[in-house]
Amino acid sequence: MGNFNDFKKGIKDAIPICLGYIAVSFAFGIQATEAGLSVFQAVLMSLTNLTSAGQFSSLELIVTQAGFAEMALLQFVINLRYMLMSTALSQKIASKLPTFPRLGIAYGVTDEIFGVSALYKGELKPLYSYGLISISAFGWGMGTFLGAVAGHIMPQRLISCLGLAIYGMFLAIILPEAKVKKPVMAVVISAMVMSTIFNYAPVLSSISSGFRIIIVTVIVAAAASFIAPIKETNN
């Protein structure tokens, strides 16, 4: 399970995620109240879903009173990438870890928390995850609350610059490894190029961001594992 130091380490590593989440969920809070949700409903959605694209896209369906099946399908498609991440994390935890902590870790499978957890050196301890998840979820809920309550009185300049936090953190996670391992650098560059193509090319740009991430990840990671399979060691 880990010890108190793992928990503290998780909390510390969650600070950049928390900052980035406040910026993004602040925007969500504003949009949610504009869509007619109460402050309580907006925060409840954030704390139970903990996902950006899924929540933003749900608002339109709520406003238009879409069917539940449509809502379920939309969330499934947008969030399918978490299945890939959850699979990767299953290899990162102790194989004899019981169900309960697994269910706890599962709550926090988001792009950002996954990124930090997956590349954490060594075995992933549940207590480290709990530290990471609690502070991140706090930021996500807090940002939603502030956006819903005071969206129009906060200085936009401050909110705007916080948007960089998450991406800065991603680069800090992947670049040190990419610098020393050529295949990783090739994966990083190919994924960025492919994602840019998907973002701007006609037809391809109509694919939702959730699917885009799945497609790019699967193609690039599959190609890399064919061309440069990792050595048979315990890493």
Partner 1 sequence: MHSVYSYILVMAVVTYLIRAIPLTLIRTEIKNNYIKSFLYYVPYATLAAMTFPAILHASDNMIASTCGFITAIILAIKNKSLLTVAVCSCVVVFIVELFV
Per CB under 8 A, which of residues 153..182 are in contact with partner 1? 156-158, 160-179
Block residue for tokens 């020393």: 180
Closest CA to 136 of 13, 4, 3, 6: 13
- Whole-angstrom CA distances from 63 to 59, 132, 150, 204, 208 are 6, 33, 22, 27, 20
Site residues (CB under 8 A) for partner 1, limited to 99-158:
99, 102-103, 105-107, 109, 111, 114-116, 118-119, 156-158
Distance CA 102, CA 27 (A): 31
Distance CA 208, CA 157 (A): 28
Q: Least Å distance between CB 150 and partner 1?
A: 19
Site residues (CB under 8 A) for partner 1, limited to 6-25:
12-13, 15-16, 19-20
Distance CA 151, CA 165 (A): 20
Q: Least Å distance between CB 3 and partner 1?
A: 21
Q: Assess 45 for contact with partner 1 (CB under 8 A).
A: yes
Which amino acid does the sequence have at 60? Answer: E
Q: Least Å distance between CB 160 and partner 1?
A: 4
Nearer to partner 1, 150 or 223 (CB): 223
Distance of CA 92 to the CA centre of its chain: 17
Q: Least Å distance between CB 228 and partner 1?
A: 8
Is residue 148 within 8 Å of residue 28, measured between CB atoms?
no
Q: Assess 204 for contact with partner 1 (CB under 8 A).
A: no
Nearer to partner 1, 115 or 149 (CB): 115
Q: Least Å distance between CB 106 and partner 1?
A: 4
Q: In sequence order, which residues have a C-beta less than 8 Å from that of residue 105 and are 6 or more positions away? A: 89, 93, 117, 124, 126, 129, 133
Q: Assess 207 for contact with partner 1 (CB under 8 A).
A: no
Nearer to partner 1, 71 or 154 (CB): 71
Site residues (CB under 8 A) for partner 1, limited to 58-97:
58, 61-62, 65, 68, 71-72, 75-76, 79-91, 93, 95-96
